[in-house]
Structure 1
Amino acid sequence: MDGSIPQHRVSFRHFSIDRLTSVVERSHARICAVLVLLSLVCFLPGFTTLQPMDRDEPRYAQASKQMLETGDFVDIRFQDEARHKKPVGIYWMQSASVAMGQAFGVPEARTTIALYRIPSLFGAIAAVLLTYWAALAFFGRRGAFLTAALMATCVILMVEARLAKTDAMLTACSVAVMGGLARAYLSRGAGTLPRRALLIFWTGFALGILIKGPLVLMFAGFAAAILSYKERSARWLLSLRPWLGLVFTLAVVLPWFIAIAIKSGGAFFAASVGQDMLGKVGTAQKYHWAPPGFYLLSFFATFWPGAILAAIAVPFAWKHRREEPVAFALAWIVPSWIVFEAVPTKLPHYTLPLLPAVAIVTVMAISRHFVGPHRPAAKLATILIPFIPVGLTVGLSAVAWSFDGLPPFRALPALLAASLLSLWAWWLFAKNRMVPTLWASFVASAFLAIGVFGFAQLDLRSLKISDRLAEAARNVSCENPQVATLGYREPSLVFLVGTTLDMVDTGAEAAAFLRRGGCRVVFVDKRFEGDFRAENERLKQEPELTTRINGFNINSGKRVDIAVYAVGS
């Protein structure tokens, strides 16, 4: 198939998109350097200043912190609760990152959330670079670069790069596996794959299992099964050296799985498989239920700015579904996407490992001149390109005004730039200048990251409840207070205040906590404050009301008013 990308000229005296693209694609090293730079511009704003995002991120970070505190790197715990849901890989990576931060003298390293996010940042950058490597099985350098840039600038990867969770690193592992599988399929009959491809494939496979269990196996297994059925043979898989690779995988993953089985008495497998994985299939865990079709709708936000171009490319994928490169991409996307849509538990990031294949199909359709303003309703549909940044500009301004009384002044220049650039991308699409459309979208996404993550979140102080409570506890006049909380129980508070944070259930328990003596602080939600005060009157103790924290809890969707009481100060 013709993998060439159409070239369109947009000149500003001595500048043109053609010239810029040609300069970038002169070598793999140059392309990778540009992709890393683009990734850093999209991933770094707000990386150190964004508060721990409840609820999953601080649960991962707190469990990693407790590994450092206890020296137990086998069992995974959040306070006294066993966290037997995911394998240990990401916790080891986060613990190592924080240990290195401590070694280099980072102050308060164990409560510095940015250190726990470093594996996700590396995972996101690796996902971009591995997308480029995987796409080289389908395109030349230009097509592979544009595919990887679509990943670097998509909203959901920008989010996951900033969160101390598994998903960015899982995506990197998945792309490594699927890139190797693509080479095995598209070059079948050519013998064993090069050692580098084998190493990338099996390293991604082993690490993927150690990070998030069977998902990597699901992505690769579905694709391999469908393609083997299509070929009426699975012999092409032998080029992956499966027996040697499985030995390598077992050597990587078995030691910890055996250790946790012994330590937990089998409870890890009962919890991770029986409760977490099967629970997602049978019921909507943690209230994250959504109907089938959720991912198709959320896709237009999560894969922005490439989503609408991908939607326009869908008929291309159907029309050319029997062509080997298209067939492989569809085998990567469709079966796993159907599984995610069928499972009741849904979160927007679950389909992230499938998006590199979506980007490949999108660029493939652009290279064949299929995507453009000549497609039915395409000019109208691409209003979604500017819709996301314009909508975020309006929405964040309204939220900041409602909760904090001021618009996000520092963010507005970057948000307006993102909106104008995306409007320009829309205009370029209408003129059938596809590569300039992509470049304008990439730059718009970079400005959106700067505006939303770099500045807007700084001004949304009402959302930083746990940060402000932890600060209030540090500011009492006595040293090293014991802290309890009543009514507000977010994991981020445990991470920021400390593993020993006491979570009490009634006003009487909160008052009794203060009565134990020494320097003590208790956070009391307004709903429980009457009972708390009544119990203090009965006990004839007068804790000092040091401050009140008002804000909005994005997890409960409710405003909160929390009083901070202290004794011994």
Structure 2
Amino acid sequence: MTDRISFGTILIILIAAFVMFYNLGGIPLLDPDEPVYAETAKEMLSHNDFVSPRIYGEYWYDKPPMYYWLVAASFKLFGVSEFAARLPSAVLAILCALYVYSASSRMFGNRAGLAGALILVTSIEYFYLGKAAVTDITLNLFLTVALLAFLEKRYYLFYICAGLATVTKGPVGFLFPGAIIFIYMLLTRSFHLLREMKIPAGIVLFALAGLPWYIAMYAIHGNAFVDTFLGFHNITRFTSPEHPEGVLWYYFIPVFIIGFMPWTAIVIQSVWAALTDSQPQHGRPLLFLIIWAAFIFLFFTASRTKLVSYILPMYPPLAMVAGWYIDRLAARRRNARPFAWPLLFTVLGGLFAAGAVYGARQAMPALLPGAYLTAAVFVVMIIGTWFFVARRETERAFWLQIAGMAVFVVILMSLLFPPAAPAFHTRDLAKAFTAHYDGKSPVYVVKFLRPGFSFYAGVYGTELTPDHWKTPGKAYFVVRPADWEWLPEADKRKLKVLATADEKLLIVKQ
């Protein structure tokens, strides 16, 4: 590693850009989440309305508009495409890594900052979401900058980014920073910081950044906006499971183990060292980072609705702690043989490699070439980590894993995602529909497939209910096998399958 910040910045940009942009637009938007954001941004442009989000031509109160605005701007500049829909996430993922590098370098030194930024960029969940057209990376950036700005006493930046986070995902934009800072002040008995935080000016800055859209939406839509956005999409989702299969209390433990891979193997000893053996000037910043990560994990563990992406905001602080630990090992090279790292990585990396091969064999044999290569990369990383740690060359072990994850990105985007993606997108069926559609008959689409179908076919359709099968006259149906197999045989004889694409059907009723 180098002590020249300018070189570190260039290195992070090059590695992060490769990871985020490699084959970014080569895979269709995956149902159901990516097409929702892309379709809403497309309708913003078609209706020339950038205040009230719409989907299927109807007002849509699910999320604030920040990511829709970014995608709409990307569509305007580059045209409507998968690449343009994902571009904002990829760019903001790189910017977040650069800010982590900058802030961590000021706190812990350049080598620690560089390590932390690269750990973040090469963790599986971070680069997966950085290559996806969803809001999570945008929220993650604003929360990260806000909390690090507080830690560095850059309070005006803190308030502005908390406001922008609120326009990205709602109340969590200010509730999360507020709760994390309160817990930190409580544990460190540092409530005197409140006198330094320029709170009156901060309230003004937060309001200017975060509230105009909410005021405009209430003025236009009234209580319908408040009840749906705040009532259902925030309070109800926390207290009631939207996805009952994810209610298990330990849901986020395997999510984190896989999502922070390969750095899961070093994070436990990193946190332990930060809590028990840090230098005095590093103790409080490290404690703040650990409180930040723990709060995110525990909050969403308590939430009744659980999604894989929810814990993304805990990755930047943990990457910074792990970067600090890597720097600490490098500085103590003569005495540093952290065998817990290769030992844990042997277990976790070995299970990940074996799981990739087993999963491909069971679910989709077409993925086996990519799965075998993934296993080979992780085996090389395991052997190399043991070799370098035994020789007290922890920096080389670190760079080996960075290189291994860059190779894994190529395998993932070239050999694993392309054969698997057709099962998760509606582009091919939408093309078949366009070729067969008469331009006037009603179209009924199962809910899960509707966002992707609308984006690719340019036809909204109507969400399918059982009664729609009884529609008189000609009608088109976009479904999966289970959505129509229950029909009586007499009714099925009136239907004709026009096209199939990976367990998705285009059916016409004459």
1:287 to 244, 257, 277: 244
What residue number does 2:478 align with? 523
Amino acid at match of 2:176: F
Amino acid at match of 1:315: W
Task: Count matched residues.
Answer: 502
In the superposition, relative to structure 1, how do residues 319 and 152 fare at CA in structure 2: closer, same or farther (>3 Å)? same
Q: Is 1:67 equivalent to 2:44 in the alignment?
A: yes
What residue number does 1:363 align with? 323
What residue number does 1:336 align with? 296
What residue number does 2:100 align with? 131
In the superposition, relative to structure 1, how do residues 233 and 300 fare at CA in structure 2: closer, same or farther (>3 Å)? closer
1:95 to 72, 79, 85: 72
1:512 to 472, 477, 488: 472
2:443 to 466, 481, 484: 484
What residue number does 2:22 align with? 45
Question: For the Cα contact (< 8 Å) 1:76–1:88, is it kept in 2?
Answer: yes
CA distance in 1, matches of 2:181, 2:308: 25
CA distance in 1, matches of 2:248, 2:298: 12
CA distance in 2, matches of 1:57, 1:98: 14
Structure 2: runs of 5 or more not aligned = none
CA distance in 2, matches of 1:336, 1:312: 20
Q: Which has the higher helix share?
A: 2
Distance apart, 1:481 and its partner CA: 7.1
Provide Cα deviations, 1:304-342, integer angstroms capped at 9, x if missing partner.
Answer: 111110022232233258832322222322233322222
Amino acid at match of 2:205: F
Provide Cα deviations, 1:118-159, integer angstroms capped at 9, x if missing partner.
Answer: 111122111111111221232111110001100010111111
Q: TM (normalized to structure 1)?
A: 0.79
CA distance in 2, matches of 1:545, 1:295: 41
What residue number does 1:301 align with? 258
Question: For the Cα contact (< 8 Å) 2:89–2:137, is it kept in 1?
Answer: yes
For residues 418-497 of structure 1, the aligned pairs below 5 Å read: 419-460=379-420, 462-476=422-436, 484-485=443-444, 487=446, 489-490=448-449, 491-497=451-457
Give the match's secondary structure for 1:547: strand
CA distance in 1, matches of 2:415, 2:216: 44
Question: For the Cα contact (< 8 Å) 1:484–1:502, is it kept in 2?
Answer: yes
Question: For the Cα contact (< 8 Å) 2:162–2:174, is it kept in 1?
Answer: yes
What residue number does 1:79 align with? 56
Distance apart, 1:355 and its partner CA: 1.5
What residue number does 2:12 align with? 35
Structure 1: runs of 5 or more not aligned = 1-20, 103-108, 185-196, 516-520, 552-559
Stretch deviating more after TM superposition (225-234 or 263-272)? 225-234
Give the match's secondary structure for 2:211: helix
Amino acid at match of 1:55: P
Provide Cα deviations, 1:7-36, integer angstroms capped at 9, x if missing partner.
Answer: xxxxxxxxxxxxxx23xx42x222112111
In the superposition, relative to structure 1, how do residues 240 and 454 fare at CA in structure 2: closer, same or farther (>3 Å)? farther
Computed over aligned residues only, the root mean square deviation of the Cα atoms, in angstroms, reads 3.2
Provide Cα deviations, 1:209-257, integer angstroms capped at 9, x if missing partner.
Answer: 1101222323322332233334544343454433323212212222211
What residue number does 2:172 align with? 215
Q: Is 1:161 equivalent to 2:121 in the alignment?
A: no
CA distance in 1, matches of 2:246, 2:82: 28
Question: For the Cα contact (< 8 Å) 2:115–2:327, is it kept in 1?
Answer: no
Question: Which of structure 1's runs of 4+ aligned residues deviate more than 6 A?
Answer: 370-373
Identical-residue share of aligned pairs (%): 20
1:170 to 139, 164, 168: 139
Amino acid at match of 1:94: V
What residue number does 1:10 align with? none
Stretch deviating more after TM superposition (206-215 or 44-53)? 44-53
Question: For the Cα contact (< 8 Å) 2:444–2:478, is it kept in 1?
Answer: yes
Distance apart, 1:386 and its partner CA: 3.2
In the superposition, relative to structure 1, how do residues 99 and 446 fare at CA in structure 2: closer, same or farther (>3 Å)? same
Q: Which has the larger radius of gyration?
A: 1
Distance apart, 1:449 and its partner CA: 1.1
Q: TM (normalized to structure 2)?
A: 0.87
In the superposition, relative to structure 1, how do residues 74 and 508 fare at CA in structure 2: closer, same or farther (>3 Å)? closer
